[in-house]
Chains A and B, each alone.
Chain A
Amino acid sequence: MAASIAPECNEIKERYDTCFLKWYSEKYLRGNTTSNECEELFTKYKKCLNKVLKERGIDTMLEDARKSSSETDSEFLRKS
């Protein structure tokens, strides 16, 4: 599995990734789109990750990127 940007989150990330892959291939792709058994692991993983993103200032960069991405999208829409 791909490593996390935060080495301390690797373990919980791996558990979440494994859960997601199982859910995605065995349930979601087969039409069972409402189950969410990986939610708890994802919450734990996100909690670990968000702390590190904040410490390194990546969280504000993410916000900026999302903002500018919707800006460019509306620019394109106006043009077409």
Chain B
Amino acid sequence: MKFFENKFTYDYSFPAVSLAYFLRYPNPYSRHVLTTDVIDRYVDPNTHRLHTTRLHLKKSKVPSGILKLLPKGMGGSDNSGQSYILETTIVDPTEGWMETESRNMEWTGILSVVEKQHYQRILTDENIQALDGLSIDQKSEQTTVRTTVTFRSRLGQGKFLSRKKAGFDNAEAEEEEPKRGFFSSLSTAGIQRTIELIGVKRTRDAVLKSKQGMNVVLERLRSGGIVGVLEGMREDREAAFGPEGPWKRVWLQGNGRSIEDDDK
């Protein structure tokens, strides 16, 4: 198992940061995020905390470094270039904190990545009074975020195909044989360690990008409010996918027959 840890301070109030978190896709640094859906959301009647579960679909591939370590066929066949991420968040507006957890839903046998974040408002004497209002524009307020990511590879530990359903028993048995041969010829622990390290390396970039994306959304929030964020999103979406929808990229400028034309 490997860990990655990072601390960061946003120069924005806690309400703004938590709002930006829910509003963070799309942004110019999130071109790999295809869709976002709310699966579940409720306010706990006792704690008044807001619980949210979201499902993100992201463009991603098993890194080639990891593919090289897998037996032929494994990883290649089902590698559609998309992956599902399950995200849960809890917000406590009174105490001024938010906890988030994101995990990959597929390939957890090869590498399970769990990202946890703890957002906490920083109280200083001057902004205690400002808490009455939403104070999205208060420049004096800050919010810290601590990110920890856990990487765990269970490759070669038998649980690998546990997600396959009973109906696939035969296929599973056929796959079992060459796999055992493969893993006995190489150190399982060594492969797991290598895969976990590749995960850590990729995460450094991902954490930086998500921070940059949050800052873009926060800046739009500060200068234009929620309307400003939504305007920015529309532009991002067009830049990323083109006016004809997510599956047709338009690379050339000036080819912009926009579906939003009636708004301008």
| Chain A contact residues, CB within 8 Å of chain B | 1-6, 9, 13, 16-17, 20-22, 24-26, 28-31, 33-34, 36, 42, 45, 49, 58, 61-62, 64-66, 68-69, 72
Complex Cα distance A20/B37, Å?
A: 13
Task: Tell me if B86 and A65 are in contact (CB < 8 A).
Answer: yes
Task: Tell me if B15 and A25 are in contact (CB < 8 A).
Answer: yes
CB distance from B14 to the nearest CB of A (A): 9
Task: Tell me if A61 and B226 are in contact (CB < 8 A).
Answer: no
Q: Which residue of A lies closest to B106 (CB)?
A: A61
Contact A30 to B133, CB < 8 A, known contacts A2-B33, A2-B36: yes
- Confirm or deny: B134 has a beta carbon within 8 angstroms of a beta carbon on chain A: yes
Q: Which residues of B contact A17 (CB under 8 A)?
A: 38
Task: Tell me if A1 and B230 are in contact (CB < 8 A).
Answer: yes
Contact A21 to B226, CB < 8 A, known contacts A5-B35, A16-B38, A69-B103: yes
Interface of chain B: mostly helix, strand, loop or mixed: mixed
Given A13-B38, A33-B50: 16 more A-B contacts, CB < 8 Å = A1-B233, A4-B35, A5-B55, A16-B38, A20-B22, A20-B41, A21-B22, A22-B226, A24-B19, A24-B50, A25-B15, A29-B15, A33-B43, A45-B38, A62-B39, A65-B86
Contact A24 to B34, CB < 8 A, known contacts A42-B41, A65-B86: no
CB distance from A42 to the nearest CB of B (A): 7
Q: Which residues of B contact A65 (CB under 8 A)?
A: 86, 103, 105
* Tally of contact residues, B, Cβ under 8 A: 39
Q: Which residues of A contact B105 (CB under 8 A)?
A: 61-62, 64-65
Q: Which residues of A contact B63 (CB under 8 A)?
A: none
Q: Which residues of B contact A31 (CB under 8 A)?
A: 93-94
| Chain B contact residues, CB within 8 Å of chain A | 15, 18-19, 22-23, 25-26, 33-39, 41, 43, 48, 50, 55, 57, 84, 86, 93-94, 103, 105-106, 108, 112, 114, 133-134, 136, 163, 226, 230, 233, 237, 246
Q: Which residues of B contact A26 (CB under 8 A)?
A: 134
Q: Which residues of A contact B108 (CB under 8 A)?
A: 68
**From A16, A17, A33, residue with most partner B Cβ within 10 Å:** A33
Task: Tell me if A21 and B26 are in contact (CB < 8 A).
Answer: no
Complex Cα distance A65/B36, Å?
A: 17
CB distance from B232 to the nearest CB of A (A): 11
Contact A4 to B37, CB < 8 A, known contacts A21-B19, A28-B50: yes
Task: Tell me if B93 and A13 are in contact (CB < 8 A).
Answer: no
